[in-house]
Amino acid sequence: MVSKEEILKLLEQVRDPEIPLLSVIDMGIIRDVLIENCPDHSDASDTTRVVVKITPTYSGCPAMHLIEEEVLATLHANGFPSVKVEVVLSPAWTTEWLSAAAREKLKASAIAPPAAIENGLVQFPPKKIACPFCNSKKTELRSEFGSTACKSLCFCKECNQPFEYFKSL
């Protein structure tokens, strides 16, 4: 029988379409994986159904349909013919669900990772955004919107580099 961990390992292949350096696992979009026995199937080889629960990063996220398709395609290609994707809206996704690996990948790609959420409150812009190039906190917000709605455009006064900041949610 397949394990939840095996399915999660396969889902590491599914990238976030807006930030392809991150997987849906890195993003915390995958909320749960259930493996169900379906004895009512006539074909004995098709008795397992995989249910993947996903949470959009925000309501109306344009990438969610593509993510759902990629989850289905990845699992079908790896021998799981019966797969269901369920969208779970509560609790709402938060940047706190980003993995530590995701934060490191963002920084290594010159995107400042989101600031920590303090006492359940998101502060935008945060008091200090560290430059992903030089770690200086002598930075300024130049535009609330970057290449995607979840990022803003910043500038470092120390190393004179523009960079994006992944907004806290």
Contacts of 107 (CB under 8 A, 6+ apart): 113, 132
- SS3 assignment, position 108: helix
Q: Residue 169: what pLDDT?
A: 84
Task: Give the C-alpha distances (Å, rounded to integers) separating 142 from 12, 33, 75, 149.
Answer: 33, 40, 41, 14
CATH of domain 4-87: 3.30.300.130
pLDDT in tens, 60-70: 788 899 999 99
Which secondary structure element, helix H or strand E, spans residue 53, and what is its range? strand 48-54
Q: Residue 128: what pLDDT?
A: 86
Q: Residue 45: what pLDDT?
A: 47
Q: Residue 46: what pLDDT?
A: 59
User: Which regions of the chain carry the CATH code 3.30.300.130?
Assistant: 4-87
Q: Residue 44: what pLDDT?
A: 45
Asked if the model's pLDDT at residue 130 lies above 60, the reply is yes
Q: Kindly state the average pLDDT of the residues 12-30.
A: 95
pLDDT in tens, 54-102: 999 887 788 899 999 999 999 999 999 999 999 999 999 999 999 999 9
Integer Cα distance of 73 and 66 in angstroms: 10
pLDDT in tens, 96-124: 999 999 999 999 999 999 988 777 767 77
138 falls in which pLDDT band (50, 70, 90)?
very high
Q: Residue 3: what pLDDT?
A: 92
- SS3 assignment, position 15: strand
pLDDT in tens, 25-45: 999 999 999 999 876 555 544
The token pair at 29 is: 């979009």
Contacts of 49 (CB under 8 A, 6+ apart): 35, 36, 38, 82, 83, 84
